[in-house]
């Protein structure tokens, strides 16, 4: 088995390759601005990988793509600013995107907006595990797509809503990164955070699943989900228990 340092370095290479491949793609209307936090927020993103990517985890949890007040600010999946700073212990300089949407400014760790999804997810981790290390000894969180898409109004546009001619080359880059990540981290299960991520796992890793890799799903913590608003932490806890991911904790 690779050492934690070797694993972190390998994951860092995957992330750099994904950033370059996705960053070279072009997107048309209604997408107006595209953010790639793996470029301008590389320092905190690298700190996340270096500190928390570990070999032999129980499960890889997959999100969709950066939220405007989370990973788009901090470079960390579901990276609500205060949780990244206070719970994960990451507070690194963040530069600015080459083109910035006036309604979605990037101010990095100075951002005062809270991302509900990230606050819910990392808040549950803190409540359940107490500190970050026990969680990352068993799990790692990764976003399938590194890019954030905004329409001219500032409205978020998710990757699944892109036209096929734009979505397919993007998914090809994301697929290659995800498969490499699974090879490096060697999880026994992959878990989609939400339906979109679960479908992406099932499609991208179909051969691995046929060979015994387990796949599961948990509710996405987005405030757009009525179910999540009725008690996301309780639902996630129940689903994680049903998947056998919290045994012995």
**In the structure encoding, which two tokens stand for residue 162, read together?**
């892109």
pLDDT bracket for residue 101 (50, 70, 90): very high
- CATH number of the structural domain spanning residue 50: 3.40.470.10
pLDDT bracket for residue 192 (50, 70, 90): very high
Domain range enclosing 27: 4-242
pLDDT bracket for residue 2 (50, 70, 90): confident
* Residue (of 84, 105, 99, 70) closest to 222 by Cα position: 70
Domain count, the chain: 1
> Is residue 14 domain-resident?
yes
> Is residue 199 domain-resident?
yes
Contact assessment for residue 60 and residue 181, using Cβ atoms and an 8 Å cutoff: yes
Query: Residue 210: is it exposed, middle or buried by C-beta count within 10 angstroms (0-12/13-18/19+)?
Result: exposed
Whole-model pTM: value is 0.95
> Is residue 214 domain-resident?
yes
List the end-to-end C-alpha distance of the chain, in Å, as a whole number.
24
Q: Across-strand partners of 141?
A: 61
Residue with tokens 């490096």: 184
Contact assessment for residue 144 and residue 199, using Cβ atoms and an 8 Å cutoff: no
User: What is the average pLDDT value for the chain, to the nearest integer?
Assistant: 95
> Is residue 248 domain-resident?
no
pLDDT bracket for residue 1 (50, 70, 90): low
Per-residue pLDDT tens digits for 42-98: 999 999 999 999 988 999 999 999 999 999 999 999 999 999 999 999 999 999 999
Contact assessment for residue 170 and residue 25, using Cβ atoms and an 8 Å cutoff: yes
């Amino acid at each position: 088995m690779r050492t934690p340092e070797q694993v972190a370095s390998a994951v860092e290479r995957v992330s750099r390759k994904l950033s370059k491949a996705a960053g070279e793609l072009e997107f048309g209307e209604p997408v107006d601005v595209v953010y790639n936090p793996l470029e301008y927020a590389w320092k905190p993103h690298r700190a996340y990988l270096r500190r928390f990517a570990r070999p032999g985890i129980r499960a890889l949890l997959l999100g969709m793509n950066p939220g405007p007040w989370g990973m788009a600010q901090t470079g960390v999946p579901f990276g609500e600013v205060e949780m990244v700073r206070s719970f994960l212990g990451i507070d690194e300089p963040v530069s600015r995107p080459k083109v910035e949407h006036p309604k979605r400014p990037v101010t990095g760790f100075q951002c005062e907006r809270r991302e509900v999804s990230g606050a819910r997810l990392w808040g549950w981790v803190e409540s359940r595990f107490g500190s970050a290390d026990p969680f990352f000894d068993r799990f790692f969180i990764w976003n399938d797509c590194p890019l954030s898409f905004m329409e001219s109004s500032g409205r978020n546009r998710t990757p699944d809503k892109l036209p096929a001619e734009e979505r397919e080359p993007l998914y090809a880059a994301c697929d290659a990164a995800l498969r490499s990540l699974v090879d490096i981290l060697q999880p026994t299960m992959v878990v989609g955070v939400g339906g979109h991520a679960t479908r992406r796992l099932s499609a991208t890793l179909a051969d691995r699943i046929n060979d015994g890799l387990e796949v599961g799903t948990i509710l996405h913590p987005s405030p757009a989900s009525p179910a999540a608003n009725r008690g996301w932490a309780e639902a996630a806890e129940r689903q994680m228990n049903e998947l056998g991911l919290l045994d012995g904790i």
